[in-house]
Amino acid sequence: MNECAKCMMKKISIISPVYNGATFLPSFIKKLVEFTFQDFEIIFVDNNSSDDSVQILQTELSKTKLDYKILYESNQGSGYARNNGIKNAIGKYITFIDCDDHIHPQKLKEDVRIMEEFDVDYVLCRTQRTYTDGRTLMQPLEGLEVGMIDPPKAGLIWLSNFFFLQGPGAILAKREVINFLGGFHTSKTGQDAFLYIRLGLYSKGYYYDKVYNFYLRHAASTISKRNKEKDGIVLSYFNLRKNLFSDDIVNDNSKAMNILKRQLNGDLFRLHSSGYSLSELTNDSRLEKLELNVILFNKFSLFLNKIVPNIKYNPFYRIWLRIK
């Protein structure tokens, strides 16, 4: 048994939250053993699993020479679990890999080489996103060029479209930078976006064009569940944007704030169209600095917003879309 509490400083801390991951854990541990770079600790954080995840972890890890910790987090949510892992990490660098994702065996070796050659705060590769129907998508879609990424470029790209975010497994970062940023938000959704958008706004990174991160989008994923809920994706994006809008790092970047102001106005208009109370939606201390757009939020536009079947038929909304 190779408990990491007894081991010396490691180059990398891999943090993996676990919630009912029994199906994926044996193959995930096997992949860890196959990494060409082995100077790492793996920190599993069980997040109230109701299956035999912990027993499988103990059994499978005992067969390896991996340095590991198994931690427990009672607060439900991957943000809490990952922050627990960060608090107990000893590596110079940190990366976050979910047990149902796949990382190329060469990735950590390449990440460390780039980090130490270019002295950047984070490094990221390409991601292949796979859906249960067999579709695949390569990320990033656009915006990033191979090489150094000066702040706030990546942060503005990711903020402009959350879909451009790579996923936690694509990124390796300095532990001191992750700690400075405060780790993950503990809201139910958008925890990783909150961290990585701020990382991109604040820190210098490096992007290399190799597909080394493989992300599986399956029915049990948080995103898939959220998208099935009424207005689920709009509400979750709205909540994420409110958290970003009230954050000091984001507030220091005028371009980021302008992007968020427009996005929040759009979210509010869509939610109002779905029957939500505008006064209740805006009664939030995180939105104190937000001004409602007069084109969208005048009495005529709001009246139409309640009677037209879709906001795209609201002429005020169509005018607003044309104004950048």
pLDDT digits (tens, 9 = 90+) for 254-280: 999 999 999 999 999 999 999 999 999
Average pLDDT over residues 189-196: 92
Domains and their CATH numbers in the chain: 4-224 (3.90.550.10), 229-322 (no CATH)
For residue 227, the tally of other CB atoms under 10 A from its CB is 11
pLDDT above 90 covers a percentage of the chain that reads 81
Residue 2 has pLDDT above 60, yes or no: no
For residue 133, the tally of other CB atoms under 10 A from its CB is 6
pLDDT above 70 covers a percentage of the chain that reads 93
CA 148 to CA 161: how far, in whole Å?
A: 21
Identify the DSSP state of 21.
-
Residue 45 has pLDDT above 80, yes or no: yes
Strands 147-149 and 205-217: antiparallel
Average pLDDT over residues 83-94: 98
Of 267, 269, 268, nearest to 308 by C-alpha is 269
Residue 5 has pLDDT above 50, yes or no: no
**DSSP 3-state assignment of 324?**
coil
Question: What per-residue confidence (pLDDT) applies to 225?
Answer: 46
Please give the mean pLDDT across all residues of the chain. Answer: 92
Does the CA dihedral 163-168-169-171 come out positive or negative? positive
Q: Mind listing the pLDDT tens digit for each residue in 214-268?
A: 988 755 554 444 444 557 889 999 999 999 999 999 999 999 999 999 999 999 9
Cis peptide before 140, with omega less than 30 degrees from 0? yes
Beta strands in 161-270 (DSSP E): 171-174, 205-217
Asked if 197 contacts 155 with a C-beta cutoff of 8 angstroms, the reply is yes
Residue 105 has pLDDT above 90, yes or no: yes
Structure pTM? Answer: 0.91
Beta strands in 114-249 (DSSP E): 122-131, 136-139, 147-149, 171-174, 205-217
CA 290 from chain centre, in angstroms, equals 24
